[in-house]
Structures are given as C-alpha cells and as structure tokens.
Amino acid sequence: MDMKKRVLLELRHRSPSEVPELVLDNCRSSDGKMEGITEEFSNLELLSLINVGLTSMAGIPKLDKLKKLELSDNRISGGLEVLAERLVNLTHLNLSGNKFKDISTLEPLKKLPQLKSLDLFNCEVTNLADYRDSIFKLLPQLTYLDGYDVNDCEASDSEGEGDGVDDEDEEEGESEDFEDEEEEDEEDVVAEDDDEDDDSGDEDGEVNGEVDSEEDEDEEDEEEDDEDSSPVKGEKRKRDPEDEDEDED
C-alpha cells in the first residue's frame, strides 16, 4: 500500500488535526520521499515511518508538536537540516538501520534543543572510533544514545517514553487497585459460598422436618390400628367363656 492511501486509512474518519499519533510502518513511499502528511496534522506528537523506503526527509511538513519520530530501516544518509527547521520540539529520534557513515552528517541535530534520545543502531557511523564520546560531545542536549546515557546506564522504558516517576506511580496505583479488586472478589465468593451453605442447611432442615413429620404420622396410624384391633380381641375373650358353657351343656 502506498503512503497516501495508508494515511487516509489511518485517519479513520477523523480530521488531521484530531490525530495525535500516526503509524505508517511498512507502507511504500514514492521516489523515497514522504507524502500524504501535511501541516494539517497540527496536533501530531508521534510519527512512525519504519521501513517505508525513505531516502530523503525533504517532504516532511512543519509539525510544531511532534515529539517522537521513528525512521528506522530506511535508506536516509543525510539531509537532517529539515528536521531542525520543521520539528523544533522533537525529543526522540530513531535513525537505526539507515545509511549514516560520518559524524558530520548528524551536526544539524545540534539545532534541536529538546532532543533527549537518539538511536543509530546498525548505522555505519557506530563503527567509528570514539563514536559515543563524539556524539555526546556534538549533541550535549542528549540524555540517551542507543538506549544508554553517557555513563553507559540503560534507559528504562518509562524514561524512554516520558516521565518515569509519574509512570511508576500510575503503575503502582493500578496494581494496588487491582489487588483491592481481587480481595473484594474473593470476599464476595466466600460470602456466596456461606449463603449457599446456609441455603443447603435450610433445605436439609426442611427435608428432615418432612421426614420427621411423616414418621410421626406413621406412628399415629399404627397407634390407631392398635386401638381398633384391641376391642376385637376383647370381644373374643369375652365370648370364650360362653362357648365353654355351651360345650358343657
């Protein structure tokens, strides 16, 4: 898919000014230039153009709010002056896997005062002697180069994306909320189990009560039968002497 069609697809019925992030990875640029992206994307903060076949940055518009630009795995070898002119608030720039060979081709980045993170993985320039020292000296505003600071301390994910302290606090708060929810769910389950036990106990009591009442009824029926049978036996006993008198006569 070419870049213009991909831009229209990513708009998703929004106007360009309503788009804060635009990811166009793996689409195809025309003649190695950016197209379809205009200054109408006035609120764009992240633009990702990974592996789109770029050879030049000439087509990039002025985007004052853009902070993060992903350009890895393209064929760019220079022309970074346009970034300093049109992306004045850029803080993160990924040029990994491009064709930069000399430190001098990166000098235009000195004019990006907000630039904190620069990635040049798999660029030939990384093979130069004193590469890291040279870049930190050229770009003193940098905090991280290829994911590590000047003291070779690795950048955390939160520091790479924004304010690490706030992100950690949010994550801790979310984890605590999640734990609270889990505890509440467990309490609800226990309460439900207790209710079920009570209900089953009541049912057992009802069943036992019915059985007891049936047994009582059976006993009453047996007593009635005994009462009915006893007079008959009594009559038979009374008639026995008469029978004897008749026999004597």
What SS3 class is residue 24?
Answer: coil
Q: What is the mean pLDDT of residues 193-200?
A: 56
Q: Flag the least confident range among 42-46, 84-88, 149-153, 199-203.
A: 199-203
- Report the alpha-carbon distance of residue 172 to residue 163 in Å, rounded: 15
| pLDDT at site 77 | 96
**Binning pLDDT at 50, 70 and 90, where does residue 235 land?**
very low
Question: Do the beta carbons of residue 143 and residue 117 sit within 8 Å?
Answer: yes
Instruction: Reduce the DSSP state of residue 73 to 3 states and report it.
Output: coil
For the CA atoms of 37, 43, 49, 52, what is the dihedral angle to 10 degrees? -10
pLDDT at 231: 43
169-175, long-range: CB within 8 Å, 24+ apart, which pairs? Answer: none
> In the predicted model, what is the mean pLDDT of the chain?
79
Q: What pLDDT, on the 0 to 100 scale, is given for residue 120?
A: 98
Beta-bridged to residue 28, according to DSSP, are 2
Both tokens of residue 1?
């898919």
pLDDT higher for 170 or 221? Answer: 221
98 pLDDT higher than 50: yes
pLDDT value of residue 234: 40
Q: What is the pLDDT of residue 30?
A: 85
The yes-or-no verdict on residue 128 having pLDDT over 80 is yes
DSSP 156: P
How sure is the predictor about 229, in pLDDT bands with cuts at 50, 70 and 90?
Answer: very low
User: Quick check: 56 and 31 in contact, CB under 8 A?
Assistant: no
Using the structure block, give the residue that is written with the tokens 């709010």.
Answer: 65
User: Of the candidates 89, 88, 79, which has an alpha carbon nearest to the alpha carbon of residue 59?
Assistant: 79
* Nearest of 136, 134, 132, 105 to residue 121 by alpha carbon: 132
pLDDT digits (tens, 9 = 90+) for 136-149: 999 999 999 999 99
* Of residues 14, 82, 91, 8, the one with CA closest to residue 46: 91
Amino acid at 179: E
Q: Which residues lie across from 94 on neighbouring strands?
A: 70, 119
pLDDT at residue 246 tops 50:
no
pLDDT of residue 155: 86
Go through the domains of the chain in sequence order and give each one's CATH number. Answer: 3-145 (3.80.10.10)
Q: Are 124 and 97 in contact (CB under 8 A)?
A: no
Beta bridge partners of 21: 46
Query: What pLDDT is stored for residue 196 in this prediction?
Result: 56
| Higher per-residue confidence, 200 vs 25 | 25
The per-residue pLDDT for 180 is 56
Alpha-helical regions (H) of the chain: 3-11, 81-86, 131-138, 157-161, 164-248
Do the Cβ atoms of 58 and 37 come closer than 8 Å? no
How much is the pLDDT for 11? 95
Residue 168's pLDDT is 43
Reduce the DSSP state of residue 123 to 3 states and report it: coil
Read off the pLDDT band of 156 (50, 70, 90). confident
